[in-house]
Structures are given as structure tokens and as C-alpha cells.
């Protein structure tokens, strides 16, 4: 999405990540946040709710970690990348755990398939941002 990149380019912040990586990560996380929120809602209302309990909780955890990470990346405050790195690490774990659990339900639930895709892409984006931070 062009807009996130444009927004970041209009800020005077000196982030420890360049705006191309920041914008890609933010947009991928936004898509992921929507997917886990919708998927959790779908699992809660489904007939097989009891067997989905772990997947629901992991999706809710993921939505909250992604939200914090997305906003902190948008502010990308100061030259110190320590908080960015730590929040990206937490987000990576949250996305991976949702991905693993929802992948097991992808055959029965279309929302789990979409969610497993979105969390895999978000985990990849976190990994790339972390690699760039440490470069």
C-alpha cells in the first residue's frame, strides 16, 4: 500500500529501519491483525468450539501483540532499536504460534486457511525487519 510509505516519508523521524521495510512490515501486520481477529470470531461461533480453544486464544494473543508492534513501528522512536527488536521478537512468536495452530484447521475452515497465510506472511515480515535491524 502506497499510503503507509508516503506517511512514513512525511515524518522527520530517524528510525533504525528504513521506511520501505517499516511500511512493508506495518502493512503486513495490519492484514494479519484483521485475519486473526476474524478467524477467532469464526472459531468461537463454530460448532467445534471446544477443540478450537487453543487456536482462539492464540489468535487473540496475536492480535494484541501485532497491534502494539504495528503502532511502535509507526512511531519508530529514536535511534535506539532495542524496543523495536524486542517487540518484533514477541510478535514473531505470536504469529508463528497462531500459524502453527490454525494450519491444523485449514482443511475444515476457510478462515483458518486465510489466517494461517496471513500469520506466516507476518512472521516472515518480522524476521526480515529483525534481520535489517541487526545488519
The answer to the question of residue 131 lying near a second copy (CB under 8 A) is no
The secondary structure of 32-98 as a DSSP string is: HHHHHHHHHHHHHHSTTGGGGHHHHHHHHHHHHHHHHHHHHHHH--SS--HHHHHHHHHHHHHHHHH
Q: Does residue 104 sit in helix, strand or coil?
A: coil
Exposure b/e, 48-69, CB count within 10 A at least 16 = b: eeeebeebbebbbbbbebbeeb
Sign of CA dihedral 95, 48, 106, 1: negative
| Among the listed residues 75, 104, 108, 131, the single contact to a second copy using CB under 8 A | 75
One of 18, 20, 44, 104 touching a second copy (CB under 8 A): 44
Does 58 bind a second copy (CB under 8 A)? Our answer is yes
37 forms part of the interface with a second copy (CB under 8 A): yes
Q: Is the Cβ of residue 7 or residue 132 nearer to a second copy in the bound state?
A: 7
Q: Which is nearer to a second copy, 31 or 128 (CB)?
A: 31
Reading the block at residue 37, the C-alpha cell is 481477529
Q: CB 104 → a second copy: shortest distance, Å?
A: 14
Tell me the closest approach of the beta carbon of residue 13 to a second copy, in angstroms.
6
Q: Which residues bind a second copy (CB under 8 A)?
A: 1, 3-4, 6-13, 26, 30-31, 34-35, 37-42, 44-47, 49-50, 52-54, 56-58, 60-61, 63-65, 67-68, 70-72, 74-75, 77-78, 80, 82-83, 86-87, 89-90, 93-94, 97, 109-111, 114-115, 118
Amino acid at each position: 500500500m502506497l499510503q503507509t510509505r508516503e506517511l512514513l516519508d512525511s515524518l522527520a523521524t530517524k528510525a533504525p529501519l528504513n521506511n520501505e521495510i517499516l511500511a512493508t512490515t506495518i502493512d503486513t501486520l495490519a492484514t494479519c491483525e484483521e485475519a486473526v481477529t476474524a478467524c477467532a470470531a469464526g472459531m468461537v461461533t463454530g460448532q467445534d468450539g471446544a477443540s478450537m480453544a487453543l487456536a482462539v486464544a492464540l489468535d487473540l494473543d496475536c492480535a494484541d501483540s501485532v497491534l502494539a508492534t504495528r503502532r511502535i513501528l509507526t512511531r519508530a522512536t529514536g535511534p535506539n532499536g532495542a524496543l523495536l527488536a524486542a517487540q518484533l521478537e514477541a510478535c514473531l512468536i505470536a504469529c508463528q504460534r497462531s500459524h502453527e495452530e490454525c494450519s491444523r484447521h485449514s482443511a475444515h475452515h476457510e478462515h483458518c486457511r486465510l489466517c494461517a497465510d496471513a500469520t506466516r506472511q507476518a512472521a516472515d515480515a518480522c524476521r526480515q525487519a529483525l534481520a535489517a535491524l541487526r545488519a
